[in-house]
Amino acid sequence: MEPSTIVWLLPVPPLLAFFLIIFLTNRNKTFSHLLGITAALLSFVGSMVIVTLAIRSGHLGEEPFTSVINWFPTGDTWFQIGVWVDPLTVATLFFVAITILMIFIYSVGYHNFGQPKGDHDQPGLPPHGATLEDEHGHKHRVPSIEPMYSRFFAFISLFAFGMYVLVVSNNLLTLFVGWEIMGLCSYLLIGFWYAKPSAKAAAVKAFLTTRIGDVVMLLGLAYLYYLAGSLSYDVIFSEETLHLLTSTGTPFVGISAAVLIGLFLFFGTVGKSAQWPLHVWLPDAMEGPTPVSAMIHAATMVSAGVYLVIRVFPIISAGMQHGEPTITMNVMAFIGAFTGLFAATIALAQNDIKRVLAYSTISQLGYMIAAIGIGAYVAAAFHLFTHAFFKALLFLGSGSVIHGVEHGVLHTGEDIDPQDMFNMGGLRKKMPLTFWTFLIGGFALSGFPFITAGFWSKDEILADAFAHANWPVLIVLAFAALLTAFYTMRQITLTFLGKSRTKSAEHAVESKWTMTLPLVLLAAFAIIAGWPGIPGDFPLIGGFIPNFVHEFVGETLAEHPEAITFSWIPLLISLGVSLGGLALGWWVYRDIPAGAPDPLEKPLGPVYKLLKNKYYFDELYNYIFVRPSLWLSQTFTYLWLDRKLIDGFLHFISRITFSLGSIFRNYIDKPVINGFGDFVGESVKRIGRTGRFIQTGRVQQYMVMALIIAFGTLFYYLFILSQP
Amino acid sequence: MTVMQVVFLVTAVVSLGGAVMVVTTRNLIHAALWLILTLFGVAVMYGLLSAPFFTVIQVVIYIGAIAILMIFAIMLTRRVKQEPGSSVNKGWWLAGLMALVLFTALVWMLSTWPGFQTTLPELPQDFDSIKVLGAALVSTEGYVIPFEIASVLLLAALIGSVAVAWERKS
Amino acid sequence: MSDPVNSIAEWLRTILASWGLSEGLITVILAVLGVVILATFVLVVDILLVWIERKMVARFQDRFGPNRVGPYGIIQPIADVIKLLIKEDIMPMGADKFIFNLAPIIALATVLLLWAVVPLAPTVIGADINVAVLYVVAIGSIGTLGIIMAGWASNNKYALLGAFRTVATMIAYEVPMIIALLIPVLLARSMGMQTIVNAQSPWYIFIVPLAAVILFVSSIAELGRTPFDISEAESEIVAGFHIEYTGMKFGLFYAGELLHALTVSALIATIFLGGWRGPYVDQLPLLGPVYLFIKAFLVYYLIMWVRYSFPRVRIDQMLGFNWKFLTPLALFLLIVVAILDKAMADVNTVWYVLVMLGANLLIVWGTMMILRRYARIERVRIAEERPVARAPESDNNELVGQE
Amino acid sequence: MISLSYFLVFAAALFCIGLYGVLARKNAIAILMGIELMLNAVVINLIAFWRFRSPEMITGQAFGVIVFAVAAAEVAVGLALFIAIFRRRNTIAADEIDLLKW
């Protein structure tokens, strides 16, 4: 089989699984999850085959696996779609396939497969637990199975389909299709527990916010198609097209088409990857089930945004001369770095275990965007790669924690929020596997030196910033990294270390193997995923493994980026910020008694309140956008324009029409037309009443009559008509 | 008068007499037995027309199956041995008139047809009508489609009659 | 002397011709003569059959059987006939006289008519028509008519019930019988009896034994003999359709039944056992009838064996057996044989026979497996607890479901 | 010598007798018998035309076979219907089965 054939087949199993679950197996939970996992496994195996083939092919950058078919005619040419596997795709495919499979397996445990049905669970609400009675008559409450279990697997299958389409497509249009499918799925999944008002609102918010980015991105696509005549990668990234784009002017002074398109596409990323100012939807999206959070916020959807900007890097960097960043890149560097710091500060003051992770995701994505903004293309891809593993790990780990605490809540009957870190503590002993994997993930996120993958990728970004002498970015990112390490340690300390602060935390239990197995596997990846990216000239350990990421992913670009030379300064910075942040985090939060406030609250004062309320961005947006548009629609458009002006006019017309109608009715319709109609009807009725006696219901009489008529007709034709 | 003519005439008289009895006898069982006689006469007619296959299947199907099924049905649907009242309906004279008119018309029209008096042609040498018929019924050049449709019809009738006559236990 | 029957016919033909009779008339006279001779012969054999049957049943039941009249009681049937002839002929009240009298005649006549197509020797056969196999079926259905006439005309509810049962079973068992008959027709590519006999090298029972078994079973059902004699089941409907018949009219039914069994045996012998075929029959055609009757009596013996060994089945079992087992099996066998026959058009005879035989045995084996399964299910079903009828008021639970 | 006219007239007579039976008899089974007579007449015609007009072509016989099949099917369904009607209405007189009227 040709590699490209396999690539074509990659998105198919999840799609099939989606339809099969929806149409056939939705009543049977076992079949549904088997279908979903089988599909994910098939795609996973296919992806690994592709990855192996790609690595062995040696010069994938020049000759990607590609295959093209005609889709729809555009004038006298065809719009072509196809698949495209180059090193960037391979790297993305690798982590996407693994994380998706892990999340599928994890969902089985997370949704309590094998547990009894809930006592009063209903679709649209999270399971409330079931009461079991053992042989001694003791009643105890246990977690109950998700009522919409099959639906969940259908949705995440569709989601996986969208992601695979996005990754393997060879043009921006099918990429956009996959992008939008994921948008839809994220809406459906965030609002999975649709009976919860908060989940419903979060779903709508996520959908609308990302929509803003998508519309702008579509504008960019349209403009690009208008200029280049195609959206296929090999066309739009060719020398001629890039030259054409840079040389075409736009109505905005001093901005070339390339810059405009780049900004438009980047804005799509801002929406999808939750960058400032469109970051508001992502923390709210935590209302969805945890596997969804992991799927959307770690592995797939938000990385899709970064993937897009890495993919269109040739356009973004078009016109770059002598290493001078373009306008687009400057904008990206600014937004990325700003978001990185901004989100990290918010994360400091959050108590919800998942929200902390959400802000950390925003922050890390900002990192990547900033890296691209300074031209560190490979470093961004590398960080994307490692981040996917450890962030998925962290989310799944947090899900496991929540699950454990929920178990405790069910057991004790306490009325507490199982997601609040201040209600936890001391879980290290209760959930050892979760603790160790979470620790590895957290250290990777903080960039714990040398061991974890996060260190290498983050270090590379800092090193790049240093090499490009981009001091503001370097400083901001370094500070953000410090904060990251701090709040990560805060999270770990609050959750796992110290003593249990509630009874529920005391009764927490380790999750099932379906949940912990993905954790262990992902933890392994959170460590080894960094090794292929160790710089070759790193002291002592550099050079054991060739800097694979740099060689391989860098091939994607026409001109290979220069490998930066090793320098001690960024290394020391990253060592300092990570270890410092971790130490500080542990020191501040090492011993919090139950019910105590956050130790940062007093020293920071009003700033803490600002951070806790996320800089009042939700309120700001509410005030600037939501309320005015509500006013516009409710008061202005509905009451004034619609009810008064348009309706008034219409009522006037209707009154005239009505009187005209009654004239017609009384003087034409009733006497003339109705009279005629009644006459016809009455006549038919009278004839029928007279003639119905012919129908006696006796078959033989009918036959005799038919014969008489037949004979008469025959007689007429033979003897009368045929007479000359 | 050849032997064949004698046989024909005897058979014709017996069959037609039987047929008249079929439509006039009040006792339905007797009518059915007369029907069998008539069908037997028709079988002989097929023999005279050198169609032995039809002779035999006339006996198998009409006498062996149809007539016996009818007797069966008569016995199943009979409450008293003799139904009271007339065995014909009120319009019987009109029906008889129709039959007479039809017969006259048919004979008159046939007699004006030039092929009416066709004499018996010799059958070709070594002509095995069963072989030819069998081959024609299943050959794609012949009548395989009508044949198959007839098979499907029989199957449908089988299922249909079972479904119709099924006594549902309430 | 190679062909005595035809030689005698030729001789008579010349004598009659010398009397100045026309050609057609001679043919008719000779045919009538042949019919009379054959019918007389088989009717005499029929009388003998009474003795054979009674002797046999006695042996099966560990008795002596008739042994008073003549040596080994061989004159006993004659005595029986005389008794029947001098018995009072009773006409039941309300009977349909004509039909009542016609029925036994039809019952015996149809059996005799069957002999018209049984080939006695290579050159001796009543009528070698090319639809002989269908003819057998047709005449069989007229026999059904005789029974139904008897049952209806007797004006007796037992007789009518017997007739009903007969009709139901006969129409049903005609289906596997025709299908089983189709298989030799398919192999011989003709429905003519002589052609079928001539085509049998080896005998068809060695090629399609299963078809022979199916024909045998359905023939027993058509005959209405035990285990399929529900049309005259004594314990249920006394004597069935001939309950009202007395004297020689009953005798005709009785004779017809016995002779029918022999006739069917002869037909099975003709179709599956090679008919008149045997050693030296080419040199001495008179051996043909001898071989045929030996084979026919062999089959007849089998029929008797079955009759006196098996208990009677219920009517629903009998019809179920036919529709759910025999007919599908026969159809399946027909399809298999047709396909194999077409596939092995150019294979030599030895292989052809071996493959056909193998296929038959395979089907038998498969059928046995299926039957075993079915029987197991059936045993479980019968063994399981069933509701027990009880008096309406009684709420005594101990009565229910006693193990 | 026997000619085609013999058979045609015979068939016509049989057909008309059957027709009378169909039109005049009260009992539904008797009507069915009339239909059988008519069908038989038709088959006689088919066979006679085959024998006299084109003995080398088998068309007449082939259609005869099909008419037989149709007749068998018709009787099976017809009798089943009559039995079903009899169960429900306790009669199979054709002029009493007249619910389908004004």
Domains plus CATH for chain D? Answer: 4-89 (1.10.287.3510)
The angle, 0 to 180 degrees and rounded to 10, between the axes of the packed helices C157-188 and B68-76 is 150
Distance CA C148, CA B68 (A): 8
Residue A620, both tokens: 């700001």
pLDDT in tens, A503-522: 877 888 888 888 888 888 88
Please check whether residue D24 touches A, CB under 8 A. yes
The one-letter code for the residue type at D63 is F
Q: What is the CA radius of gyration of chain D?
A: 17
CA distance B90 to chain A (A): 10
Q: Chain B residue with minimal CA distance to A714?
A: B105
Question: Looking at the domain that runs over B1-80, which CATH code has it been given?
Answer: 1.20.120.1200
Catalogue the E-assigned strands of C342-381. Answer: none
Residue C149's pLDDT band (cuts 50, 70, 90): confident
Residue A652's pLDDT band (cuts 50, 70, 90): very high
Write down which chains contact chain A via at least 3 CB pairs under 8 A.
Answer: B, D
The angle, 0 to 180 degrees and rounded to 10, between the axes of the packed helices A353-373 and A301-311 is 0
Distance CA A403, CA A510 (A): 9
Please check whether residue B89 touches A, CB under 8 A. yes
Q: Please report the pLDDT score of residue C393 as a whole number.
A: 61
Q: Please report the pLDDT score of residue C279 as a whole number.
A: 82
pLDDT in tens, A267-289: 888 888 888 788 888 888 888 88
CB within 8 Å: B67 and C145: yes
Q: Please report the pLDDT score of residue A56 as a whole number.
A: 79
Whole-number percent of chain A with pLDDT over 70: 94
Looking at residues A63-86, what average pLDDT do you find?
A: 80
Interface test with D, best of B3, B93, B103 (most D CBs within 10 A): B103
CA distance B131 to chain D (A): 10
Residue spans per domain, chain A: 379-612, 619-696
Q: Is the peptide bond before A277 cis (omega within 30 degrees of 0)?
A: yes
Interface test with A, best of D15, D23, D26, D97 (most A CBs within 10 A): D23
Q: Please report the pLDDT score of residue B14 as a whole number.
A: 92
CB within 8 Å: A693 and D102: yes
Q: Please report the pLDDT score of residue A306 as a whole number.
A: 87
φ/ψ region of A196 (left if φ > 0, alpha if ψ in -120 to 50, else beta) reads: beta
Q: Is the pTM of this model over 0.90?
A: no
Alpha helices in A169-256 (DSSP H): 172-190, 197-228, 233-236, 239-247
Alpha helices in A248-376 (DSSP H): 257-272, 281-284, 290-294, 301-311, 313-316, 327-348, 353-373
Residue A536's pLDDT band (cuts 50, 70, 90): low
Q: Average model confidence (pLDDT) for chain C?
A: 83
Q: Please report the pLDDT score of residue C45 as a whole number.
A: 86
Q: Chain B residue with minimal CA distance to C147?
A: B68
Looking at residues C352-362, what average pLDDT do you find?
A: 87
Q: What residues of chain D lie within 8 A of the CB of A700, using their CB?
A: 22-24, 31, 94-95
In the predicted model, is pLDDT for residue A673 greater than 50?
Answer: yes
Residue B54, both tokens: 């039809």
Q: Which of D22, D23, D101 sits opposite A695 (nearest CB)?
A: D101
CB within 8 Å: B89 and A708: no
The one-letter code for the residue type at C349 is T
The winner for highest mean pLDDT among A332-341, B122-131, C229-238, C380-389 is: A332-341
CB within 8 Å: B63 and C142: yes
Looking at residues B24-45, what average pLDDT do you find?
A: 88
In the predicted model, is pLDDT for residue A425 greater than 70?
Answer: yes
Distance CA A559, CA C140 (A): 98
CB within 8 Å: B102 and A711: yes
CA distance D102 to chain A (A): 6
Q: Give the residue carrying structure tokens 């004698």.
A: B6
Chain B from 100 to 159: CB within 8 A of any D CB: 100, 102-103, 106-107, 110-111, 115-121, 123-124, 127, 129, 132-133, 136-137, 142-143, 146-147, 150-151, 153-154, 156-158
CA distance A5 to chain B (A): 45
Distance CA A265, CA A308 (A): 8
Q: Please report the pLDDT score of residue C343 as a whole number.
A: 84
Looking at residues B77-91, what average pLDDT do you find?
A: 67
The more confident residue out of A124 and D33 is D33
Q: Please report the pLDDT score of residue B83 as a whole number.
A: 59
| Nearest partner of A525 among A428, A385, A401, judged by Cα | A385
A140: enclosing H helix or E strand:
strand A139-142
Distance CA A445, CA C343 (A): 75
Residue A640's pLDDT band (cuts 50, 70, 90): confident
Please check whether residue B91 touches A, CB under 8 A. yes
CA distance B89 to chain A (A): 9
Looking at residues B152-163, what average pLDDT do you find?
A: 89
pLDDT in tens, A327-341: 888 888 888 888 888
pLDDT in tens, C150-173: 888 888 888 888 888 888 888 888
In the predicted model, is pLDDT for residue C401 greater than 50?
Answer: no
* Among the ranges given (A71-85, A435-449, D36-50), the one the predictor scored with the smallest mean pLDDT: A71-85
Residue D6, both tokens: 């013999």
Please check whether residue D95 touches B, CB under 8 A. yes
CB A107 within 8 A of CB A152: yes
Distance CA A248, CA A319 (A): 12
Q: Please report the pLDDT score of residue C402 as a whole number.
A: 46
In the predicted model, is pLDDT for residue A138 greater than 50?
Answer: yes
Q: Which of C130, C137, C149 sits opposite B60 (nearest CB)?
A: C137
Please check whether residue B72 touches C, CB under 8 A. yes
Looking at residues C365-387, what average pLDDT do you find?
A: 84
Residue spans per domain, chain B: 1-80, 127-170
* Among the ranges given (A84-88, A171-175, A686-690, C364-368), the one the predictor scored with the smallest mean pLDDT: A84-88
CA distance C141 to chain B (A): 5
pLDDT in tens, B103-126: 988 888 888 888 778 787 877 777
Looking at residues C225-234, what average pLDDT do you find?
A: 74
* Among the ranges given (A180-189, A366-375, A430-439, C124-133), the one the predictor scored with the smallest mean pLDDT: C124-133
Chain C from 157 to 216: CB within 8 A of any B CB: 160, 164, 167, 171, 174, 191
Report helix, strand or coil for A68: strand
CB within 8 Å: B59 and C142: yes
Write down which chains contact chain B via at least 3 CB pairs under 8 A.
Answer: A, C, D
Please check whether residue D92 touches A, CB under 8 A. no
CB within 8 Å: A704 and B102: no
Q: What residues of chain D lie within 8 A of the CB of A703, using their CB?
A: 22-23
CB within 8 Å: A711 and B105: yes
Q: Average model confidence (pLDDT) for chain B?
A: 84
* Among the ranges given (A301-305, A680-684, B42-46, C126-130), the one the predictor scored with the smallest mean pLDDT: C126-130
| Nearest partner of C273 among C181, C209, C341, C182, judged by Cα | C209
- ipTM strictly over 0.90? no
Residue A564's pLDDT band (cuts 50, 70, 90): low
Q: Please report the pLDDT score of residue C403 as a whole number.
A: 43
